[in-house]
Amino acid sequence: MPLPPDTGSLNVGSFWEESVGSIQEDPKLFGEAAFDFAIVGAGFTGLSAAIALTGAGASVCILEAGRVGWGASGRNGGFCCLGGSKLSDRQMVRRYGLDQARAYFDYQCEAIEAVSNRLESYQIEADRHSHGEIYLAHRPSDFAGFAEEARFLDDSYGIKARVLSPGDLRTEGIAGPEFHGGLHVPVGFALNPMKYVQGLARKARARGVRIYARSPATGIEPALDGAWSLKTPEGTVRAGKVILAGNAYAREDTPAWLKGRLFPVMSSILVTRPLTDAELSDQGWTSDLMASDTRTLLHYFRLLPDRRFLFGTRGGLFETQSSLSRMHAAARDDFDRMFPAWRGVETSHAWYGHVCLTRDLVPYVGPVPRMDGVFAAMAWHGSGIAMASLSGEKLAELALGRIGQDSLPQAITAPPRKFPLPALRGAYLQGAYWWYALQDR
């Protein structure tokens, strides 16, 4: 992802930007400044960490390449849900054992509850809706496994999931020609992510956090007194400790430790104009549940409170205009096929962003090796609203010395390994997309 332009608009064309109206522009950093903590990235992770740190009396600044919500925190689909890893529940059990798999699941639930509590206590109106999420089988064989999955969730985590037949789906207003049944997991909710992240920024500013927009961290070097020096194009910050919260929008050379450890992949979203009662009835979709299908290259979608329909896809390799146009056209083709009654409904907004993966397909929350006083939280694998929010708080507690990493689930405590031949990540992503598309048929 290139850095945002130094002049002109930072808008990415999302519906979320339009929904919040004007977005406060924080000042750029000029000259020298000193703080107890410097945070790189003004998204869910960085703002959550900043709020927690100021609650402990620390002085905090945030260096942001764009503006609040310019990265994934303002571009995502608004699913505050389970996730953070690309491992299935059973894969998590095989790798870490049942107790640690439960610890990770509990962490996800704690993260969702943390966002819910913030919306209430910070008085953020973020268009919350949806009781949980429904997974829709795009093949009959996928539906056949839902009953066992429901038993596993109940036996392992105490979650009472519902299995819905195709007839049940139609009754509940979740109709489509490619849906062969569903699994409703009653955990999580949907929201407007831009309203949420801007609400966090208002809280941070009120706590005294200095947010510097259009001020990318271009270098992090040790200072003579044991502190850290962070350079921006027109300024420098000296800080006792540093938190890296850029996720898929981080520069790989800031610090050099990041190089080759993260894998940003593209996700695109379209939003329709508001749908009429007749159009909703014709398609048979009236539910406000968050939904996704069972493809590896999944689709995710939901009906918004104003009756627009949001539809997201994975895929896309290059950020040229022609490649982006093809990606958005492919997403629209998928939408028309999956929701044929809306084939003629106009797309009012279309945009894209980056999802952050690691080699081990799990997030990381902890110290940066061999950089004393530098900490990182990253790699939410496409489900970052809840996980980033809680992990930002946990990272602040780690940096303050209030907790140790042993208080976190084992799955998120191992520093991400480098990808093999990282310069070729784009090439083998293309191969993976071809293979996943074949498997998804």
Both tokens assigned to 45: 């992770």
What tens digit of pLDDT does each residue of 9-57 get?
789 999 999 999 889 999 999 999 999 999 999 999 999 999 999 999 9
- The pLDDT tens digits of the residues spanning 96-105 come to 999 999 999 9
Give the CATH number of domain 129-190+264-357: 3.30.9.10
Residue-wise pLDDT for 206-254, tens only, equals: 999 999 999 999 999 999 889 999 999 999 999 999 999 999 999 999 9
pLDDT at 1 over 50: no
Determine the pLDDT at residue 296.
Answer: 79
Fold of 15-76+194-260+360-432: FAD/NAD(P)-binding domain (3.50.50)
| Average pLDDT along the chain | 94
What beta strand segments (E) does 214-279 contain? Answer: 219-222, 228-232, 235-244, 263-272
- The pLDDT value recorded for residue 397 is 98
- The radius of gyration of the chain from alpha carbons, rounded to an integer in Å, stands at 21
45 sits in which H/E element: helix 44-55
Half-sphere exposure of 41 (CA within 13 A, CB side): 28
Residues facing 237 on adjacent strands: 33, 230
Q: How many helices (H) and strands (E) does the chain have?
A: 12, 18
Q: pLDDT by residue (tens digit) across 279-297?
A: 999 999 999 999 999 997 8
Whether the pLDDT of residue 89 is over 80: the answer is yes
Q: Please tell me which residue, 314 or 154, carries the higher pLDDT value.
A: 154
Domains of the chain by residue range: 15-76+194-260+360-432, 129-190+264-357
* Contact status, residue 294 vs residue 136, Cβ threshold 8 Å: yes
Which position has the token pair 């480098």? 418
Identify the band that residue 61 occupies on the pLDDT scale cut at 50, 70 and 90: very high
DSSP assignment string, 3-40: PPPSSS------HHHHHH-S---PPPP-EEEEEEEEEE
Which residues lie across from 232 on neighbouring strands?
Answer: 235
Separation CA 213–CA 209 (nearest Å): 13
Inter-axis angle of helices 98-121 and 89-96, nearest 10: 120
Token pair in block for residue 92 = 């998590």
CA dist., res. 351 & res. 12, Å (int): 7
Q: What is the pTM of this model?
A: 0.95
The one-letter amino acid code at 359 reads R
What digits encode the pLDDT tens for the residues 143-191? 999 999 999 999 999 999 999 999 999 999 999 999 999 999 999 999 9
> Is the per-residue pLDDT at 66 higher than 50?
yes
State the pLDDT at residue 224.
81
Rounded CA-CA distance 18/342 in Å is: 23
